Amino acid sequence: MYHINFEQPIHIHFIGIGGISMSGLAEILLEKGFKVSGSDRESSPLTDYLKDHGALIYYGQKSSNITDTVDLVVYTAAIHEDNEEWRAAKEKKIPMLTRAQLLGQLMHNYKNPIAISGTHGKTTATSMMTHILLAGETDPTISVGGILEAIGGNIRVGKSDIFVTEACEYTNSFLEFFPRIGIILNIEEDHLDFFKDIHDIRNSFYRFAKLLPKNGALIINGDIENYKELTQDLSCQIISFGHQADCDYYAKDLSYDEKGNVSFILVKHGTECGRFQLSVTGEHNVYNALSVIAASELLGLSLEVIQKGLASFKGTHRRFEYKGTCNGFTIVDDYAHHPTEILATLQAAKYYPHKELWCVFQPHTYTRTKTLYKEFVSALAHADHVVLADIYAARETDTLGMSSAQLAEDIKNMGADAYYLPSFEEIENFLLKHVKKDDLLITMGAGNVVNIGESLLK
């Protein structure tokens, strides 16, 4: 594998530079004096930002973009051998790294690299951690998988020895990382277009945990089934958090204010440590918070600073994000695309002021829909009304016999009110006709379903 000397900046080209993670890595390298170029299908606020800060951006991926001045090419898991730029780099014998390999090499530059993993909650937990580190004036470098208002985007380049990043298990990319502190928020079935089954997924997280050095620490959710199987032969420190009183960090006496925001009493090693108020809703966010409280304490931050940081976190882009009101009803958008995430979001919504709860859901990939079909039906039935958009195919072409129309029928069979409408325009017209004043409408999914709420607000 090619190894970058960060003391000697070179020309690095990114295939797919407009992605949330790729653009962040490109920005870090620009800050470090590297020459950066890259390509994407079309312009976006992220590519515009990079262009304004000195990157050379190509729209459309062509072999001619791989010039003789390029020293290294970085690409994502979505890029395959039929990509023109990928082939051109191979023909020119230019060294190549995956996005994860580059991120892993960047970690070597920091004394305290922190990797936050899990099937759900990575962006939220990373964002919470960011707020705490900013409250503690630690000047961290951050790479987060969403737009976070506190850092004005998805990346922050600091000058301290702290680096925080999300660590995604898909294609085992997080196995390229070199964290000193690792967090595992949860482990569930997902990405079954890559993993064989839950055992394969657990093994991947086990291998991630094994990356931690003897002087490092693993912070793991004690509610994960048989979690000690994943920790029994680790040489690093093990810290647990969760629902159970025998966890190192757990929460008690959860309560919700008039806005639906949750607070809890922190119990650490059996000792109560005061009430922590969050500015977001949902029990799942309590456990995201516990994980980053543990990580923050490892860095030497006080509970007072941690309380201040957590209270200042008001959510991230597309995570129970308030969008506005239309005809007297409230519109919220959420990235939830796995049954566990959907259930957590709909349960959190119960504490948010509203009369009836509407969920417009866009399933994400045929594989996930087929594998977790019963779980999707059960989770979505927790809304008062469900409107299904067509499945967002993403990287897939085979429908596997899955359809949103069938989902709607089976949700109805659960006794819930459900509809399928084939176009966004039809969905918008239906909502304007049926959603009433003081109702809550959540647009939900990892695709472009957010456009429905934004169109209604226009």
User: Is residue 306 a contact partner of residue 110, using CB atoms and an 8 Å limit?
Assistant: no
DSSP 185-202: ----S--TTT-SSHHHHH
Mapping DSSP onto H, E and C, the string for 224-271 reads CCCHHHHCCCCCCEEEEEECCCCCCEEEEEEEECCCCCEEEEEEECCE
Helices and strands in the chain: count of H runs, count of E runs: 14, 21
284 CB contacts (<8 Å, ≥6 apart)?
120, 121, 344, 348
Helix (H) or strand (E) holding 130: helix 122-135
CA 186 to chain centre: 13
Residues marked as catalytic:
122-123, 166
Q: How many CB atoms lie within 10 A of CB 218?
A: 22
Q: What is the arrangement of strands in the sheet containing 417-420, beginning at the earlier edge strand? A: 321-326, 329-334, 440-444, 357-361, 385-388, 417-420
Local structure of residue 370 (DSSP, 8 states): H
